[in-house]
Structure 1
Amino acid sequence: MLAYSLRRLLISVPIFIASTFVVFLMAALSGNPLNRLLAISPPPPPQTIEAERVRLHLDQPIFERYWNWLTGLFRGDFGPSTESTMDIGNEVMSRYMVTLRLVLLAMLLALILAIIAGVVSAVKQYSGVDYTFTFIGFLFLAMPTFWFAILLKEAGISFNNAVGEQVLFTIGDSSVYVAGGAWDKVLDTAGHMILPTISLALLSFAAWSRFQRAAMLEVLNSDYVRLARAKGLRRGQVMRKHALRTALIPLTTVTALDLGSIISGAVVTETVFQWQGAGTFLLEAIEKDDVYSIMAWLVISATVIIVLNLVADLLYGVLDPRIRYA
């Protein structure tokens, strides 16, 4: 298992470097970080513009800029921002912690719902329950992320107006001031996470439940499940140890592949609910043509995706003994 894990980790290194190189070129060539400075009226002195150009390393060839940025990562230096007072490393890490709790909780909720819906739909194929889950799945698949998030936000506002108090929070990832101790702050944070988590989770659940249903149907019709039943094993034991365990392998693959889509969906969800997370950090960086802030977001995102894909690879070994023994 250790050799398998190391091999998968080593494969991720060239993928990571290639992705950073492509995005760096795209970000560096898409705009001029000095545009905001040049748009000031009256324009600043040429010496000021040249000093800013040197500070942002725009006086260097683009390949040299990339190499200096890449080697600087090993020293914890993410490069200079167009906002001279901002430390990119501290800012992107604090913002990403906000987004990460949303993404991980939404993934967990989506997986639980997808497994339950997929298994029940497969076991009760062509029943009313199956058709109901199928309808719900296709309904959420047809909904754009931003539209569904806006609907939930409006529903939360209407619910609060109906009960006459703030039950569902619709703005921000936490309150500016929370009276009380640590437990009150935890409850406040949890209250702000309800609607964004539901928005992100249900859209992922829709596709994953269909994959789980298809995988479960395939396993239930396999020879080894028929053999387990013929041996007289209890139905629950057959479903849990033989059918479900194998059927989770395709869902694990799909979840790992969809991780990038979930993070991009979090960008939209954070914008709707006005969270100060990694999504808004990325949008602000793009608006300012802040190349190094964009690259910092990519590095953290790529690292999260690589780590969770490695976890998915390890789960293959847990779910399929043939991989573990090999």
Structure 2
Amino acid sequence: MLAFALRRLFVSVPILIVSTFVVFVMVSLSANPLSPLIQRSPPPPPRTIELERIRLHLDQPILERYWHWITGVLSGDFGPSVQSNMNIGHEVISRFGVTLRLIVLAMVVALILAVIIGVISAARQYSKFDYTATFFGFLFLSMPSFWFAIVLKQIGISINTGVGDQIFYTIGSSSIIVTGGAWAHFTDILGHLVLPTISLALTSYAAWSRFQRASMLEVLNSDYVRLARAKGLPRWTVTRKHALRNALIPLTTVTALDIGSILGGAVVTETVFQWQGAGTFLLDAIKGSDVYAVEAWLLIAATFIILLNLIADLLYGLLDPRIRYA
């Protein structure tokens, strides 16, 4: 297993390096960081523009700029920001910390729902439960993430207004003032996670549960499962020990491929619920033509996606030992 993990790790590192170069070139060519300064009225002196150009390393060739940037990233320096008083590294990491707790919790909830509902739907094919799960699956699948988030926010506001108390948190990732110790801060953060997590998890679970159902049906109709049943093994034992493990492999693949869309959905969800997370950081950087801030965001996002895909590769080896010996 260790050799399998090392092989996958060695493959992931070149992918990350190539992705950083492609991202750097594309972002550098797509925007001019000096635009906000040049468009000021009255315009600043040419000397000011030239000094800002030197500070942002725009006087260097793009390959030299990339080399300085990537070597700086290794030492924790993500480059100069258009806002001279902002440390890009500290800001983007703290913002991603806020966003990752939403993504991780939403993925865990979505996976648990997808596996449970997908397995039960396959085991009870064409039952009332199967039809009900299919209906709600397609319903959540057809909902745009931003629209569903807005609807949930409005429902939360209506419930708070109706009961005259704060039942659901609809703005921000945490309260400005929290009285109490660590437990009070934890419950406050957890309360702010409820509606955004429901929004992101249900839109993700809908597709995953359909994949899990289809995969489970295929495995349940395979020869080795029929043989296990013919031996007299209990139905639940056959489903849990023999069928579920192999049926999880396609779901692992789909989950790894959907990581990018989940991250994009988190950006939209954060905007709706007014979180100061990675989503608002990216939007502010794009509006301000802050090239290095955009590159830092995309670098961390690429690292996150590659890391989770690496975890998915390792899960393949755990679910099916034949994969790691291939």
User: Shorter-chain TM-score: what band?
Assistant: over 0.9
- Three-state SS of the structure 2 residue aligned to 1:261 is helix
Distance, in Å, in 2 between the alignment partners of 1:325 and 1:60 is 48
Identity of aligned residues (%): 71
Distance, in Å, in 1 between the alignment partners of 2:154 and 2:123 is 36
Distance, in Å, in 1 between the alignment partners of 2:17 and 2:231 is 52
The 5 Å alignment of 1:1-326 reads 1-326=1-326
Q: Which amino acid in structure 1 is aligned with residue 38 of structure 2?
A: L
Distance, in Å, in 1 between the alignment partners of 2:119 and 2:243 is 10
Q: 1:173 Cα deviation (Å)?
A: 0.2
- Three-state SS of the structure 2 residue aligned to 1:170 is coil
Distance, in Å, in 2 between the alignment partners of 1:100 and 1:278 is 9
Give 5+ residue unaligned stretches, structure 2: none
Moved more, 24-33 or 82-91: 24-33
Distance, in Å, in 2 between the alignment partners of 1:14 and 1:249 is 25
Distance, in Å, in 2 between the alignment partners of 1:107 and 1:267 is 15
Distance, in Å, in 2 between the alignment partners of 1:235 and 1:128 is 20
Distance, in Å, in 2 between the alignment partners of 1:59 and 1:69 is 14
Q: Which amino acid in structure 1 is aligned with residue 284 of structure 2?
A: E
Instruction: For residues 207-262 of structure 1, give each alpha carbon's deviation from its aligned partner in whole angstroms, at most 9, with x where no partner exists.
Output: 00000000000000000101111111121211111011110111011111111110
Q: 1:325 Cα deviation (Å)?
A: 4.7
Distance, in Å, in 2 between the alignment partners of 1:325 and 1:30 is 44
Distance, in Å, in 1 between the alignment partners of 2:120 and 2:236 is 13
Instruction: For residues 168-225 of structure 1, give each alpha carbon's deviation from its aligned partner in whole angstroms, at most 9, with x where no partner exists.
Output: 0000000000111111111110110000000000000000000000000000000010
Q: 1:324 Cα deviation (Å)?
A: 4.2
Number of aligned residue pairs: give it: 326
Distance, in Å, in 2 between the alignment partners of 1:274 and 1:158 is 18
- Three-state SS of the structure 2 residue aligned to 1:177 is coil
Distance, in Å, in 2 between the alignment partners of 1:127 and 1:240 is 20
Distance, in Å, in 2 between the alignment partners of 1:220 and 1:37 is 64
Q: 1:132 Cα deviation (Å)?
A: 0.8
Distance, in Å, in 1 between the alignment partners of 2:22 and 2:240 is 44
Distance, in Å, in 2 between the alignment partners of 1:271 and 1:214 is 34
Moved more, 24-33 or 153-162: 24-33
**Is the contact made by 2:282 and 2:294 (CA closer than 8 Å) also made in structure 1?**
yes
Task: Report the TM-score, using the length of structure 1 for normalisation.
Answer: 0.98
Q: Which amino acid in structure 2 is aligned with residue 276 of structure 1?
A: Q
- Three-state SS of the structure 1 residue aligned to 2:194 is helix
Moved more, 240-249 or 41-50: 41-50
Task: Report the TM-score, using the length of structure 2 for normalisation.
Answer: 0.98
- Three-state SS of the structure 2 residue aligned to 1:33 is coil
Moved more, 164-173 or 37-46: 37-46
Q: 1:278 Cα deviation (Å)?
A: 0.7
Distance, in Å, in 2 between the alignment partners of 1:87 and 1:27 is 19
Q: 1:14 Cα deviation (Å)?
A: 2.2
Distance, in Å, in 1 between the alignment partners of 2:170 and 2:74 is 39
Q: Which amino acid in structure 1 is aligned with residue 279 of structure 2?
A: G
Flag the 1:325–1:27 CA change in 2: closer, same or farther, 3 A. closer
Give 5+ residue unaligned stretches, structure 1: none
Instruction: For residues 127-155 of structure 1, give each alpha carbon's deviation from its aligned partner in whole angstroms, at most 9, with x where no partner exists.
Output: 11111111111111111111010000001
Distance, in Å, in 2 between the alignment partners of 1:288 and 1:12 is 32
Q: Which amino acid in structure 1 is aligned with residue 23 of structure 2?
A: V
Distance, in Å, in 1 between the alignment partners of 2:185 and 2:206 is 32
Q: 1:63 Cα deviation (Å)?
A: 1.9
Distance, in Å, in 1 between the alignment partners of 2:194 and 2:181 is 21
Q: 1:163 Cα deviation (Å)?
A: 1.3
Distance, in Å, in 1 between the alignment partners of 2:4 and 2:181 is 46
Instruction: For residues 108-136 of structure 1, give each alpha carbon's deviation from its aligned partner in whole angstroms, at most 9, with x where no partner exists.
Output: 00001001111111111111111111111
Distance, in Å, in 2 between the alignment partners of 1:236 and 1:136 is 25
Instruction: For residues 74-119 of structure 1, give each alpha carbon's deviation from its aligned partner in whole angstroms, at most 9, with x where no partner exists.
Output: 2211110101011111001100000000000000000010011111
- Three-state SS of the structure 1 residue aligned to 2:20 is helix
Distance, in Å, in 1 between the alignment partners of 2:100 and 2:273 is 16
